[in-house]
Amino acid sequence: MRADRTRERTVVLNQLLLGVVALLSATIAFAMEAVAVPELVLGGLLLVAVVTGIALAVPWNRIHAPWSALLPICDILAIALLRESNPSAGFSLLWIFPAMWIAGSFGLLGLVVVNVLTNGVYWLTVALDPAQSLTPVIILIPMTIVAVSTTAYLASKRAAAQRALLDAQARLLARAVERSRRQEDLVTEVLDAVDFGVIRLGIRGEESVRNEAHARMQRMLAPGGAEQAAFAEDGLTELGVEQTPLARARRGETFDGDLVWYGKPGKGRRALSVTSRALESAGGERVGGILVSRDVTDEVMALRAREDLVASVSHELRTPLTAILGYLELVLDGDDLSAASRRGLEVAERNAARLLDIIADLLTVSADHHGGVRLSIDQRVARVDEIVHSSVEALLPRAAERQITLDDAGIEQVTAFIDPLRIRQVVDNIIGNAVKYNVDQGRVEVGVTADMDHAWIVVRDDGTGISAEEIPRLFERFFRADAVRKTTTHGSGLGLSISREIARAHGGEITVQSELGSGSTFLIRLPLREKGRRS
Ligand code: ADP
């Protein structure tokens, strides 16, 4: 840190100024022959010169401050000598300089002392001088010195207050800077501690922040600095440079959990789930973006393994089950069965048929792997109301078992461009759920209607309902709500997932509104006409 030389500067400047003015006034006095006793002037100037020499030579900053007051005091005496050479030459005005110096540097005490001193010396010289005539000028000089020194004192006080304010502000600023630096460190530490990669993109797409996990992922994905090719969620479609998550985020795109594979198909490739958010300033201007990526290879692999297992087990089960059903049918076709055996065999056949349905569902959802049954849609113009009516009819016995009312009064006649078998599957599943997840003596309302472009099937129940947290996951494969898992109600968690796939394959959609404890409403939207065809 640089040494504070303020006091040194004040001393030297004040003394030099006084020295120069004293020398000039003495020279002028000599020139105008206004000096009665030249020895006194020379003595005074000599004293000022000595004081100036001392002012320049002494390191005032290292010396206790009051010592520097000796200099202006000596100056006051030197000026007294100058004044004595000719009292009317006006040398006494020079006292203004040491008076300002002391009053400005040594506070109230300085102000009092310097005025007592200058006045003392002044009135002493006045008293000792018999030739001094009593004119108004006599009191004007000490009054001027008092006024000027008071002004200097007040100005120095104000300057000190301003300096204190500035110091306080500087301290506050330093503290704020320190706090924001600590906060930045904290954010960096937190970002480095998490196991997902984070990149902050600037307005021009430059990476302004990247955390430790991102750097680790980068090293893993680009061994030896060689970037690996990126592939879409299917793992096969290669993404062009403009389609990579980073390029999309740089363009300001927002996306959620997009799955991207890095590395060619085969061993060692990694799957990342990438999310991008555009960042906006308070004024709504785009100021960059955030890209978050998580390594989900293990999760994706585990999911695939589960689907593979499901697919292969389903395959293996289908053949013996078909045989069982075939034989049951054969036996049931015979006439030599007692009524009790027939009832037993019919139950067995119904359950085996149900098992086959479940297996068909399992194979549908694992169609992408292991050559399962692909979801094929065969659309034509068909009556939606008839499909819904027959589904309701088929479910009546099951509803009756638990005294659930199935109200189909809201079904209007509607024809749409659909695959009747697939839509029956969807409707069976959704009305079946409305009965299955209802309470005893509950109520299910089913309706069909249409607007200009779509057929709408509404299924409303007043059953258990679904919690807000579970609704977004409802259409996931194998998803079953917590409330349902705890009961003995059986289900595979596949029905809704397949139903939505079927609706979407038609160009339609299934949506749900539900509240835990008060029931659910499922809405199925289907196209009225073939795409591109007008009515
Ligand atoms: P499954 O009924 O075979 O379990 P679904 O895919 O048809 O599979 O349904 C998934 C889950 O959604 C169900 O397990 C249940 O928790 C919940 N669910 C579906 N429909 C309803 C409904 N109408 N009321 C309450 N919960 C429902």
Coil/strand/helix, residue 449 = strand
255, 326: one domain: no
Element (H, E) at 256: strand 255-262
Total number of domains in the chain = 4
Burial class of residue 401 in the structure, from the number of CB atoms within 10 Å of its CB (0-12 exposed, 13-18 middle, 19+ buried): exposed
48, 68: one domain: yes
**Best residue among 439, 458, 484, 499 to mutate for probing ligand 1, ranked by most atoms within 8 Å of CB:** 484
208, 281: one domain: yes
Q: Do the domain assignments include residue 79?
A: yes
Q: Which of 187, 210, 184 is nearest to 199 (CA)?
A: 210
Say how many Å lie between the CA of residue 484 and the centre of ligand 1. 8
404, 346: one domain: no
329, 276: one domain: no
Say how many Å lie between the CA of residue 467 and the centre of ligand 1. 12
**Best residue among 444, 445, 496 to mutate for probing ligand 1, ranked by most atoms within 8 Å of CB:** 496
8 Å CB contact between 510 and 459: no
Cβ–ligand 1 distance for 311 under 6 Å, the answer no
Say how many Å lie between the CA of residue 468 and the centre of ligand 1. 14
List Cα–Cα distances, 443 to 161, 225, 407, 421, 463, in angstroms.
82, 64, 7, 26, 8
Q: Where in the sequence is the domain holding 399, given as residue range(s)?
A: 380-527
Say how many Å lie between the CA of residue 496 and the centre of ligand 1. 7
260, 312: one domain: no
Q: Which of 360, 348, 514 is nearest to 429 (CA)?
A: 360
Cβ–ligand 1 distance for 463 under 6 Å, the answer yes
Cβ–ligand 1 distance for 481 under 6 Å, the answer yes
Characterize 110-128 residue by residue with b for buried, 16 or more Cβ atoms within 10 angstroms of its Cβ, and e for exposed.
Answer: bbeebbebbbebbeebbee
Which residues of 359-442 form beta strands (DSSP E)?
380-383, 405-411, 415-418
392, 351: one domain: no
Domain final position from 268, 295, 322: 295
386, 407: one domain: yes
Q: Do the domain assignments include residue 1?
A: no
112, 208: one domain: no
Cβ–ligand 1 distance for 246 under 6 Å, the answer no
288, 306: one domain: no
Q: Do the domain assignments include residue 191?
A: no
Burial class of residue 392 in the structure, from the number of CB atoms within 10 Å of its CB (0-12 exposed, 13-18 middle, 19+ buried): buried
CATH number at residue 441: 3.30.565.10
Question: Which token pair is 203?
Answer: 């307005």
Cα–Cα distance, 29 to 26 (Å, whole number)? 5
- What residue's CA is closest to ligand 1, atom 11? 480
Q: Do the domain assignments include residue 177?
A: no
Q: Do the domain assignments include residue 482?
A: yes
CATH number at residue 356: 1.10.287
Q: Do the domain assignments include residue 533?
A: no
305, 357: one domain: yes
Coil/strand/helix, residue 65 = helix
Burial class of residue 498 in the structure, from the number of CB atoms within 10 Å of its CB (0-12 exposed, 13-18 middle, 19+ buried): buried
Cβ–ligand 1 distance for 98 under 6 Å, the answer no
Specify the DSSP class assigned to residue 138: H
Q: Do the domain assignments include residue 189?
A: no
417, 435: one domain: yes
Q: Do the domain assignments include residue 184?
A: no
Give the global pTM: 0.49
CATH number at residue 224: 3.30.450.20
Q: What is the pLDDT along the chain (535 residues), one digit of tens a residue?
A: 455 678 889 899 999 999 999 999 999 988 888 788 888 889 999 999 999 999 999 998 888 888 999 999 999 999 999 888 888 778 888 999 999 999 999 999 999 999 999 999 888 888 887 776 667 778 888 899 999 999 999 999 999 999 999 999 999 999 999 999 999 999 889 988 998 999 999 988 898 888 998 888 888 887 776 778 899 988 888 999 899 999 999 998 999 999 999 988 877 789 999 999 998 888 888 889 999 999 999 999 888 888 778 878 887 888 889 999 999 999 999 888 899 999 999 989 988 887 888 888 777 776 654 344 456 788 999 999 999 999 999 899 899 999 999 999 999 999 999 999 889 989 999 999 999 999 999 999 999 999 999 999 999 999 989 999 999 999 988 888 876 666 655 677 888 988 998 999 999 999 999 998 889 999 999 999 987 665 5
What is the end-to-end Cα distance of the chain in Å, rounded?
87
